[in-house]
Structure 1
């Protein structure tokens, strides 16, 4: 879990073509961590990375916990809504079927997951990016069995793929001395290791049919409330922020290299570091009153790593940049999503069905 403004969207546009009796839509296949999880970890019974208790989800739909590590929408939710795309259900949702996949895609994101298999080990259960890709291969076999190989290939090449990972690999791996990676690498060699692993994963996704890709860059992860409260000064952790910038630079080069070398690949890097850093530095310019502490907190006991029913909520959730110790609020996610859409010039997908509606925002709670 963490503050990551993000990492990977694979994008190919496919405009409602009838294949073997199916009117194939543009759907999303989302790979990620807690910033994109919509309920997979709720079905991992031994996972310690959970958003299954109030007040998670309070500003989404019926206000009940839904597996999102936020009070409302994820960045992927917001971008998908703006593009007119359906919201994909969690892969581990027991109601998932081939027909639902063809209509909505699938979300594989898992809180605590990382680019590296070893990341987030103390969460017990989580899905790493390699595991998520393995599950995606299984989904491909399901769809091929239903509509045939040729139709399935066109369907998957026409989907949008989102993956947002990377900050866990630092916050819940490299920057923690309990992990071997913390003493096996220095800052530069770890960034190299991480981005070369990502390169291999993106090449694998391309082999599986992805033709357009966007990777979300990391935000200033040294400024999340957890990192601030663990410091003696309460200020942002400069080393963590420099690591995020190093990763963004290296990952951007990886995407550019792959875009130029892989057949029919058009890979993009969605970097929102600067705007998030500005929101944190100048919150009032964006309508926020607090940019250094979580809206949902357990009184003066910090860090309370998750929001729980006994936690107290801020008076106005729309005025807080952070929802809990790790994750941005719905309002902050909207700014992040808008910045990425603007930078990459995304346009709405022309589909017959109306896009998924944005959730209603529940009333604010008083302290």
Structure 2
């Protein structure tokens, strides 16, 4: 019951903004998004040397105007769909904005393909915005907000905003699981997990000191079941060991969040556990209207990155595939996962205060 109660956390966040604030300075709901390619909406398009890009066909084939936007899928991200359901615009990529743009008062997306908790994660992508980089940009944003509407109003906006954070996938996929990289050679799985956890504690605390209070951390899905990892199996099966490491990561971060909620005054961090939802989608695709969950719609080459390149072949019925490329869900899969997540957020009747706890 306690878990179910926590699942409705956003209702008060949406309805609890002070009525005396004007829409010009404080929208009904402000969201700041930090993450990797699962939530990116185009920041890497502005990094000229980045190899983690999706600004070419067939990305965006099912998005507005059927053009690529920098989203690593054929259509919308889960963040886009959640924003639609909340009745707010999907926050724009930070690097697309003028530093003094009024749009920042409504929320910003800092997510960057290839990003990780650790600064050396995704190093071979040349350019990407690590979680630390994203927090640096958010700090710049807080200064601009304070200059625009005053420190008191800015602090209120920042305290009441929702912070979606999705990090860690690349720290495994594009770091620890790559045998040619230093971290894979010098750390045991437990040591690597401890490093990630320690770094996350610093990053959560830094966001808190910048004004963030209502932070939702999205736990990792079963990475061992994404096409890029299945390709390493002789029978194209999920990699059990990778999934075990993911579960250990999720458990460790959940405990960290519980500690920080006690340690940091008025902090309201939550852990959103979506592991089982994703795993069920992979294991039982027909239950959700899908036909294929063990390979991607786009015929990718996992030996050269696994992205959907312009010369690749794309499946005809994209709604039948759970995965778009070797790493990322399709628009249809994102819709299912967003629905599951959203229904949990509003699982109880009435308005429930945003409270620390576990979602899942």
**TM-score normalised by length of structure 2:** 0.88
Distance 1:17 1:303, change over 3 A: farther
Give the conservation status (yes or no) of the 8 Å contact 1:36–1:75: yes
Q: 1:255 aligns with which of 245, 248, 257?
A: 257
Alpha-carbon distance between aligned partners in 2 of 1:98 and 1:283, rounded to the nearest angstrom: 43
Q: 1:347 to 1:196 in 2, by over 3 A?
A: farther
Cα distance, 1:302 vs structure 2: 4.6
Q: Counterpart in 2 of 1:364?
A: none
Alignment partner, residue 297 of structure 1: 299
Distance verdict in 2 for CA 1:153–1:139, change over 3 Å: same
- Check whether the contact 1:113–1:126 (CA below 8 A) recurs between aligned residues: yes
Q: Deviation digits for residues 194-228 of structure 1, max 9, x if unmatched?
A: 11211111111111111111110111101111111
1:30/1:106 contact within 8 Å kept: yes
Going from structure 1 to structure 2, the CA distance change for 1:239 and 1:272 (only over 3 Å counts) comes to same
1:46-85 mapped onto 2 (5 Å cutoff): 46-85=49-88
Residue 347 (structure 1) shift: 8.9
> CA contact under 8 A between 1:98 and 1:143: conserved in structure 2?
no
Alpha carbons of structure 1 residues 80 and 21: separation in structure 2 relative to 1, 3 Å = closer
- 1:1-367 aligned at under 5 Å gives the runs 13=14, 15=17, 17-19=19-21, 22-25=24-27, 26-95=29-98, 97-102=100-105, 104-298=106-300, 301-303=301-303, 305-345=306-346
Structure 2, unmatched stretches of 5+, are 1-8, 352-360
Distance 1:36 1:81 in 2: 14
8 Å CA contact retained: 1:222, 1:228 = yes
Give the CA deviation at 1:343.
Answer: 3.3
- Shift of the 348–34 alpha-carbon distance from structure 1 to 2, 3 Å rule, reads farther
Contact 1:54 1:309 in 2 (8 A): yes
1:83–1:347 Cα contact (<8 Å) kept: no
List per-residue Cα deviations over 1:242-297 (Å, max 9, x = no partner).
11111111111111111222111222111111121111111111111000111111
Q: Is the Cα–Cα contact under 8 Å of residues 29 and 106 in structure 1 kept in the other structure?
A: yes
CA positional deviation for 1:97: 4.1
Q: Distance in 1 between matches of 2:236 and 2:328?
A: 17
Q: Distance in 1 between matches of 2:235 and 2:320?
A: 24
* CA distance in structure 1 between the aligned counterparts of 2:184 and 2:283, rounded to whole angstroms: 29
Kept in 1, the 8 Å contact 2:122–2:175? The answer is yes
The worse-fitting range, judged by mean Cα deviation, of 90-99 and 210-219 is 90-99
Q: Secondary structure of the residue that 2:217 maps to in structure 1?
A: strand
In the alignment, the residues of structure 2 paired with residue 312 and residue 195 of structure 1 have an alpha-carbon distance, to the nearest angstrom, of: 40
Go from structure 1 to structure 2 and tell me whether the alpha carbon gap of 1:81 and 1:20 turns closer, same or farther (over 3 Å shift): closer
Contact 1:38/1:66 (CA < 8 Å) preserved in 2? yes
The answer to whether the 8 A contact 1:28-1:159 is kept is yes
